Amino acid sequence: MSNQHTPHIKATSADFAETVLMPGDPLRSKFVAENFLENARLVNNVRGIQGYTGTYRGVPVSVMASGMGMPSIGIYSYELYHFFGVESIIRIGSAGGLADDIQLRDVIIGMGACTNSAFQDQYKLNGNYAPIASFELLSRAVKEAEALGVRYKVGNLLSSDIFYHADPEFNQGWYKMGVLGVEMEAAALYMNAAAAGKKALAICTVSDHILRGEALDADQRQNTFTDMMKIALGVATSV
């Protein structure tokens, strides 16, 4: 733990709660702070990556954006885990649906995160690592979703390095392997958590269905994904 600023976070360890919710979009971070947290204060705004700390149900909770992609969440989650005393990070983001029974606005709780990224190469493992969530956080998330009556699925995500893939059939193999949805961050978060001995979970709202061509617009993605926010906040305060 350190009280020194990093190149990406201008704060101290006292500024962050032990659990941080992490959307990709800085405006979604602001939305959570303004609509769910009490006495929220801005604790970081380096490069426009807004981070806030307040309380929810009387428990300190932080929310800070990660930006898009594994390199970006890799930086922010590493610094939070290693330099700011954070124990758990819960990603709250969007995903493109793959499975047949996935609908727009469904919540996917990521038990695992496949990836086409080389992020794991840094660990010099003799094989391929399988990034998985914290079972403690995952089991709490399921309970919260059940209590809220939210439509959810638990299963595998694909964390892809590529948004506009040159191969139009790229997602078909993952679909056949039962992957529920595609996003761009969870695998790096899960690996950083494992390497640091910390906890991580990705809770994603389905913003579009990749194979059916269905999609929500940008405003809907930013402001209407409250179910996953409530689940994540419930997890953060159910210790």
> Is there a catalytic annotation at residue 217?
no
Give the three-state DSSP class for 37: coil
Residue 98, pLDDT > 50, answer yes
Name which of 108, 80, 103 is nearest 92 in CA terms: 108
Name which of 122, 25, 36 is nearest 66 in CA terms: 25
pLDDT digits (tens, 9 = 90+) for 51-70: 999 999 999 999 999 999 99
Q: What is the pTM of this model?
A: 0.94
Which band of pLDDT confidence, cut at 50, 70 and 90, is reported for residue 223?
low
Residue of 208, 217, 219, 227 marked active site: 208
List, in order of start, the domains of the chain with CATH numbers.
Answer: 13-236 (3.40.50.1580)
Residue 235, pLDDT > 80, answer yes
